[in-house]
Every structure is written in structure tokens, then in C-alpha cells.
Structure 1
Amino acid sequence: MRFNALLADALVRDGVDADADRRGPNGEVDVAFFLDGTWYLMEAKWYTDPITVEPLRQLRDILTQRRPGTIGILASRSGFDDSARRRAAEVRDVVLFDRPHLEALIGGVATGSELVTAANRSVAVYGQPDVPLAALLRPRRPVRCANSLSALVRHAGVSGCVARMSAMIAGQGTRPASRNEWPRLRRHGVPAGVSRNRQHRSTTTNCR
């Protein structure tokens, strides 16, 4: 019970609507919370040995009695054995949190929203419900729009007006066109608000 309350308090601290020890006609849920339009039900286990597949089966029984789309989180201080990990990989609606995840949540190393969102992304995008904390919170590769756009243009062999417009959009030192210039820019296929730089005006008028 104290473990459940500790986890719920950590989520509430991070601005997540969470409750501990919710009991209903279909059994008790250790921690229930709502985040980004999704309900999560967490079962928290404070065992000495890695837990087996049985608690996961019990959590899935609870999920089948709840609204479709509800996600389960099985939290274990002692980790999981291979049977639990295999079963979680099969069902795809349960996330596994072990001791490092729980310590990060309680200690504020990561917010509840960051941790849960990253775990949900791992399941939805990669089909991995059990990801080490360091990999789960690794910063995603930053997007460099100008470089990515230039590489795309080169790879696709785009030429002429489209390539020049792409370079213009990704260029430096541009400023939005004035409202009086929008009709002229539209005639040349340039979105309003992209640029009114002298060099760019000359490139757009030379499109073929």
C-alpha cells in the first residue's frame, strides 16, 4: 500500500492525475492515472525475486474489463523473469517498469509524463515493452530542417523551380513577404510569407 501511494504521489507531483488503491467491482488497481488522453493502470510489486508471468496475466485480466485502449504498467522492484518479458512482448498493451524506472520516477530524475510517454512510444513504434531506462530516455536525434531538406532534394534529383524554392525556404537571412507582395509570389508558386529577399525574388521569377 505504501509503495502504491509513493508512486501515485510522484505522478501527482509531476502534474499527472493519479490515484492509488482504487477498488471496484472487478478488483483493485494499485495506481490509476490519466495522461494525454489515455488511462493507465499500474500494478506495483515489491518482491525479492524477479516476478513471473502470473502478475502480468492478472493485469491483463483487469485490462480486458476496462475501456478499450487502456494501457497496463507492471512495475517490479525486483525486475522480471524471461517468461514475463516474453509475454509482455506478445500482448503489446503492457509496459514493464523495473527498479531503475521506479527510482527515476520517485527521485524526479524523469517526470512521470516523460517516462510514461517514452515507454508508450517504445511499445507503439518499436513493439518493445521492456526497455532499459537509459535507452528509454535517450534524447531523440534533433531534426536539422535545412540539411534534411537539401539532402532530400539531392537524393530525389529535384531540379528547376522546386529545388530553388526548397533552397529559398531553407535559406538564411530571409524575412516574410509583405501582404502587398503575396499576389505576385503566388503567381510564381511561392507560398506567401516565405521571403522577399532580392536574390530569392530573382530565382522565383526564373523558374521553368
Structure 2
Amino acid sequence: MHRDWLPLPVLAPVDPRCELAFEHLLRLFQQRRSGTTLAGMKVYSAVILNALVDALRTIYWFQNDLRSFLTRAGVPADVLGALPWGPGTYKRIIAQRLVDQLAGEPAVGMPILNGIIDSVVEMDEDMPHLVRLDDGKKKADDARRAVRALKDLLGRETIAERADRARREARTEAERSRVARIQRQRDLKALNDRFLALSMIPDDAASKRRRGFQFQELLRDLFALHDMDPRGSMARPGEQIDGSIVFDGSFLVVEAKWEAKPIEPKDVRDFQGKVQTKLDNTLGLFVSMSGFTDYAVEEAARSGRIYAVLMDGSDLAQVFQGLVDLTELLRRKLRHAAEYGRAMYHVGDD
């Protein structure tokens, strides 16, 4: 007989208990895949968590921007404070440590992870904050790929549920960004009002001294608004500096003057001398409302190396009016100094 005609074996009846066990395992698998255990707690596979790390690594280029995003996503300040922010630490390491910590403490960490994932999947895929950077198209493309990979792993139904929940709770990244933008505009307007008030102070000796102190306070508040961790004036024998900030992982010593005339070469030379006594990666930011003479600008590069970049009243006016972002302006100044060897840069010079 041809083997195709062999009779099929008779199967024994399936034990109902086996059917129940199989259905139970199937439900567990489906619930695990969708991110829910029988206890109702959200869990995620290692693949999804790795995709989240990759998304966090790419959606923002600078650590300060990533930290602000995580704050808006609901990550507690003490959790963020425990992460290794700063120069020499890659964003992937920061993101990996955050995700591992939250996943390792499900009772506390899973709600926070849910908020982070909600914020990531709700991001504007145009990534305008990345596009405006150098090589921005590639940075934005990398971020889009990472976010889409996370979305694919979560599944379309999950994405829709998250979007609906985020909208109901007004927790979409767009909404958070809108609220943060409005608050930032209000804060910047308040600083601009103070800036304009300072410009009305007369030039007599007593008033000028008071204006100088108020100008330093105004700059500290401006730096704080941009998350630059400003510190106040510091003094040591024979030396006085107005403060310092942390910018893109580097320390900048700050000198601020509001004089009647432009700054002369001697002031620039003296300030650069102070900067040279600090750590090797320390740079200087000299802020002068009255600007700098041409000779003073040349003095900043006379030694063959620029230790400080210069900022004048026109720069500050644009910042306070919201015409240019302070963070972006400083990045352009530093890049211009690195590429062209000039300490002064104004918007439009490139």
C-alpha cells in the first residue's frame, strides 16, 4: 500500500486539565507581550527596554536637553540627580542606568517608565530641535528610526492607547512643551523688563555701582533659566571674578561689565590671564554692555589661543527679546572661535 494511504493514528482524548493549562500559559504570554502581568503591573521585555535606551540616546543631542525632557516626562528629581551627568559620560550610559534602575524596582519604577515611553512615542517626528543643529538631518533621521523601532515593538494598539491616555491626562510631549514654552516666555519677559530698567539708571558713580551688581544678578538669573548652573562672584587674593557657569560639559568663568565706554584691550588681557590659571578645559565669557573696541577683540586672540569669547549689549538684547536662544548663541560663539580664531561673533556672521 502506498504510504500516502496509511491510516492516520488515532489520538487519545486531550485531558481537559491540559487544555486549561495551555490556555493559562497562552494568556500569560499575551499579557507579558502587551506589557501587563496578572497582578496588573506593567512589565517590558529586555528588547523593548533596549529600544527605549536607544531612543533616549538619540532624541536629544545635549545632556541638558535630555535632562529637561526627562523632568517633563515625570522622572523625579532625586532619580535624575543620581545619574552620572557631565563631561566624559555618554548619553547611552545615562539612559541605560536610568532604565535599569526603574525596571529593577517595578513597584516604583514602572509608572515612571510608562511616563517616559508615553513622552517618547508622542514626540514630533520632525525633530525640529535636532534639525537646526550641525549635521541636523542625520541626527533627526537617527532619532526617528529609534523612536519608530520602539513604537513597532510596542505595537500599534499600544501606541493608540498611550496616545489617548496621554491626551486625556494632558501629558503629551507637545502639551508639556507648550506649557514649558509659555512659562519660559514669561520668565524671559520678566528678565527683559529688568534689563530695560537697568538701562534707565543714570551714569553717576553711586548708580553705576548699583547697576553693576544688579547686572550680575540679572545674568545669573538668565543663566539659571537656561540650566547653566551659575555660581556667584568669587574672590581670592589679587583676583575677583563675577561667577561661573557650566555649559555643554565645560566650565566658563564669567566677567560682566556695564560701562559707559567700550572695553579696552587691557581688560580683556587681564580677564584671559585669570582664565589661564584655571583648569585646562575652562574657558571665559566676557560680557560687556558697552561692547569692545576693535583692539580689544584682537587682543583676545593675540596670544595665539583664545581663552574667552565676547558678548556685547546687542547680543543680550536679542537674547532677552527672545530673538535668539542663549544656549544656541553660546554654541555659535564657541564654534566660531574654534573655526575662525575670533572671540567675537554676532548672529548673522556665519
The yes-or-no answer on 1:16 pairing with 2:228 is yes
Asked if 1:57 corresponds to 2:262, the answer is: no
Structure 2 counterpart of 1:117: 331
**CA 1:135–1:82: 2 relative to 1, 3 Å:** closer
Contact map agreement 1:95 1:129 (CA 8 A) in 2 = yes
Cα separation, 2, equivalents of 1:70 and 1:127: 17
Mapped pair 1:133 → 2:332: no
Deviates more, 1:36-45 or 1:108-117: 108-117
Whole-angstrom distance in 1 between the partners of 2:347 and 2:241: 24
CA–CA distance in structure 1, aligned partners of residues 234 and 323 of structure 2: 27
The residue identity in structure 2 corresponding to 1:29 is I
Alignment partner for residue 246 of structure 2, among 23, 34, 52?
34
Query: What is the rounded CA distance, in whole Å, between the counterparts of 2:301 and 2:269 in structure 1?
Result: 13
Per the TM alignment, residue 88 of structure 1 is displaced from its structure 2 partner at its CA by: 1.3
SS of structure 1 residue aligned to 2:344: coil
1:111 is displaced (CA, Å) by: 2.8
Flag the 1:9–1:107 CA change in 2: closer, same or farther, 3 A.
farther
Distance 2:322 2:244 in 1: 19
Distance 1:69 1:28, change over 3 A: same
Matching residue's letter, 1:101 = D
CA contact (8 A) 1:45 1:76 kept: yes
Do 1:10 and 1:105's aligned partners in 2 also have CA atoms closer than 8 Å? no
Which of the two has greater helix per residue?
A: 2
1:187-198 equivalence runs, <5 A: none
SS in 2 for 1:34: strand
Structure showing greater relative contact order (alpha-carbon pairs closer than 8 Å, 6 or more residues apart): 1
Counterpart of 1:8, as a letter, is: R
Q: Does 1:82 align with 2:275?
A: no
SS in 1 for 2:232: strand
Match of 1:102 among 291, 316, 338: 316
Asked whether the equivalents of residues 52 and 84 of structure 1 are also in contact (C-alpha less than 8 Å), the reply is yes
- Tell me, what secondary structure is at the counterpart of 1:73? strand
CA contact (8 A) 1:50 1:79 kept: yes
Is residue 45 from structure 1 mapped to residue 257 from structure 2 by the alignment?
A: yes
Query: What TM-score, normalized to structure 1?
Result: 0.60
CA distance in 2, matches of 1:71, 1:122: 14
The CA deviation at 1:25 is 5.0
Deviation of 1:19 after TM superposition, in Å, equals 1.9
Q: Which amino acid aligns with 1:71?
A: L
CA RMSD across the alignment = 1.8
Q: Is the 8 A contact 2:243 2:253 kept in 1?
A: yes
The alpha carbon displacement at 1:118 in A equals 1.0
More strand by proportion, 1 or 2?
Answer: 1
| Cross-structure match for 1:92 | 306
Could you tell me which amino acid in structure 2 is paired with residue 65 of structure 1? Answer: T
TM-score, length of structure 2 as denominator length: 0.37
- Aligned 8 A contact 1:89 1:129 in 2: yes
Aligned length: 136
Deviation by residue 1:37-68 (Cα, 9 ceiling, x = unmatched): 11101111111111101111111121122111
- Bigger radius of gyration, 1 or 2? 2
Could you list the per-position Cα deviations for residues 106-152 of structure 1 after superposition, in whole angstroms to 9, with x for gaps in the alignment? 3443333212111101111221211223336xxxxxxxxxxxxxxxx
Say if 1:43 and 1:109 are closer, same or farther in 2 by CA, change over 3 A: same
Select between 14-23 and 43-52 the one with higher mean Cα deviation: 14-23
Out of 264, 272, 279, which is 1:67 matched to? 279
Q: Matched residue of 2:284: which SS? A: strand
Q: Check the 8 A contact 2:269/2:300 in 1, yes or no.
A: no
Structure 2 CA distance, aligned partners of 1:48 and 1:112? Answer: 24
Q: Does the 8 Å CA contact 1:51/1:76 hold for their aligned counterparts?
A: yes
Aligned partners of 1:118 and 1:6: how far apart in 2? 22
Which residue does 2:217 correspond to in 1?
A: 5
Which consecutive unaligned segments of at least 5 residues does structure 2 have?
A: 1-212
